[in-house]
Amino acid sequence: MWPISLWVVALVVVISTHWVYKWRNPKCNGNLPPGSMGWPLVGETIQFFTTDRTSGVPTFIKQRMERYGSIFKTSLVGVQVIVSTDSDLNSLVFKKEDEVFQSWWPNSMTEVFGRTNLSTLYGGLHKFTKNMVLNQFGPERLKQMLSEIESVSKIHLARWAQKGTVEVKTAASDMILSFAAKKLISHDLDKSLENMRENFEAFITGLISFPIAIPGTAYYKCLQGRKKVMKMLNNMLEERRRNPNNVSNDYFDYVIEELKQDDTLLTEAIALDLMFLLLFASYETTSMTTTVAIKLLMDNPKALKELTEEQDKIVKARANPDSGLTWEEYKSMTFMFQVINESVRLANIVPAIFRKIIKDFTFKDYTIPSGWVIMISPPATYLNPDTYKDPLEFNPWRWEGMGIKGASKDFMAFGGGQRFCVGADFARLEMAVTLHNLVTKYRWKLIKGGEMIRTPGLHFPNGLHVHFSKKNEDNQISN
């Protein structure tokens, strides 16, 4: 007979083998999409977060698309996931919000953005909080803000030219964040911009990283960056309560008045998480897309020429060439919006969108089970040659006749349905104003950097260092 130790080893092997088999072959009342669940608990998390120096479809997604098709299963950070690169399924996910799908993020990202951030709220509370943002950045408010946005843009572009050479992503982040902070909290970031930038940079570095909160890791630094920014915001809110600002009409004023209401849905935690999210979006997403647009225009003289001609025509049509942009002029920028749409498509800074499946449903030949998570991969859609011809090519003309937003099932860069990004209009306006002033008043050339990679988020590993100067009298741009 076997000794007891061998029986124990055999039992452990049998149990472990059975556990691994069950993990890799999850039960489903139907036909699950193909794919691999990886190892128990870990799944394919390590492969997903592995550095991938590509500007195209992330290798993790691309390899599995080639192997399994446009829909496949996997496991990330211990969660059973259906990955979708199918435009029809992606569209359905946004249309069936709260009916079949519910907004969801991994616990690690919820810790980063806050447990009461906009993406974690549902129903009436989500609608209420979304309206809070629109109160500050909705279309009607943007019309009123246009002259302020242009003024800030002109000031910062002049600084770029005075410095000669700047790192564009950092400079664009400072410009957009300074405006957002002024409108949201009446805060002059020129006094504390460096400190806030350092906190956000630490936050961004670890945002899409392996979620291990151990000192020294990128994720730990990310959490520390959030902690410092949240402390700053909390101190500002308390100071405003003690000493009301009688001249501003900003987000904090709105929050304080709302918190005084007996029937309010707002809590201080929700208000501060929302503030953090808005400042982060200003610092990173809009500035990154603006940086990408400048890089792409620099590399494409034909597109730059057409954009410059369109914007120069707007200036020349004014009775006073030195007067500021009007809302009507902004809305008339046909080619500008084509450039913005194409830049947004190629920047595509959100590597994944998650939804929790709350009810079984069938799509094509597959059953998508309740309790799982579906992950939409925007890069796999926007960089798919079957959807966009020569997808890595900057081609603003592909958007001709598509309108300002160009939204479709193949272009949901700002989300869709109830979760459509409430800052989308602000982002477009900020980009349009910056590019308008840039192409009509300045010339620029690349000094160094400019390589774009995804790891899996988009960034410039060597920066984008560009020399800016005022245009010569012949009004020619030199590249």
Nearest to 418 by CA among 114, 129, 34: 129
Distances (CA, A) of 439 to 58, 234, 335, 336, 436: 33, 40, 13, 11, 6
**Contact predicate 466/165, CB 8 Å:** yes
**Contact predicate 443/477, CB 8 Å:** yes
Structure tokens at 426: 């602000």
N residues, the chain: 479
CA 275 to chain centre: 16
Phi first, then psi: give them for residue 120, nearest 5 degrees. Answer: -100, -5
**Contact predicate 134/140, CB 8 Å:** no
- Whether omega for the bond prior to residue 456 falls within 30 degrees of 0, making it cis, is yes
Residue 28 marked as a ligand binder: no
The single residue listed with the structure tokens 């402390």 is 231
**Contact predicate 414/420, CB 8 Å:** yes
The single residue listed with the structure tokens 């010569």 is 472
Which residues does the annotation place in the binding site?
421
Which residues does the annotation place in the binding site for heme?
421
